[in-house]
Amino acid sequence: MLIYNPANLPTYSLVNTQQPERKLTNWTLKWQQKHLIVKARKPHSLQASLEFTDKQRLQECLQKSSVKVVQIDPAVGSANLQMWATACDRAQKPIFVRAGKDQKLPYLQSIEWRLKRTCDFLAAALLLAILSPVILGLVIWRWLKSPQSPVLVRYWRVGHKGQVFGLFKFNALASVGYHGYWQNLPQLFNVLRGEMSLVGPRPWTLTEVNYLQPKQLANLPGITGILETKAPLAVSTVRDIHLAYIYQWSLAKDSKILLQTLLRIFSGDIN
């Protein structure tokens, strides 16, 4: 069973989550070659706007439309981003956050990058095959402990080129005994779907995306990354580390990060 949960805040947050978010339920819509562009309606704007208070109605409108892709302004706020993401998912329409001019990184077309993507897919498939008894055991254990609760939960995250996708996790209970990286095992399915990599910058929450630079969305997010190999860091340092990773990326560095993460998991440094 699968449910949609509000985005949980990550360990390293780039925004002040204590400030109340400004609510906005009106948008201006623009059609462009079967792309639906959703923009936040400016105060006192005379532009025609559309308001959906019923998620079901929004979903039905999307299903009946000829829209191929939805592009949404992050200024509408995380609550409305989540509403649109859920509706687009159920209507089977891909949705992307508009984060400014697309930043093209030369290595994304390199042979080394294509090899990384191939290795990601093969490694994720192999790990799922090897760990299938463990995953099945966790599913059964989780169901026996709380049969009324879903086994999997999905959190909306923003990845490559602003793509909004559902990040999978086990819906863990403290009494079940699995958490942390073991709870992230279902993210191997995100890797198979091409939404994530084994190693990369962490995926961004819907709350954070309005504060990001476009180049921070120029890479696939990873299950693990350079932050997982370091001690706890100040928030002000996190952005610089992510940007440094993006511009200094190499297959060798990714392999080193993955090995360090595995060693820390099995040594008990992280769980």
**Whole-number Å distance between alpha carbons of 185 and 178:** 11
The pLDDT of residue 102: 59
Q: How far is CA 11 from CA 73, 210, 223, in A?
A: 25, 18, 14
Tell me the mean pLDDT per 10 residues along the chain, length 271. 35 42 64 87 51 74 91 88 92 88 64 87 94 87 83 91 92 58 88 94 87 80 82 65 81 89 74 52
State the residue for tokens 């609760």: 149
Rounded distance between C-alpha atoms, residue 225 and residue 229, angstroms = 7
Give CA–CA dist 253/241, Å, rounded.
14
Report the sign of the C-alpha dihedral through residues 39, 40, 43, 47, in that order. Answer: positive
At residue 222, the pLDDT reads 92
Q: What is the pLDDT of residue 34?
A: 85
Q: How many residues does the chain have?
A: 271
Residue 226: Cβ within 10 Å count? 22
Which is it for strands 50-51 and 26-32: parallel, antiparallel or unpaired?
antiparallel
pTM strictly above 0.85? no
Domain chopping of the chain, boundaries: 1-271
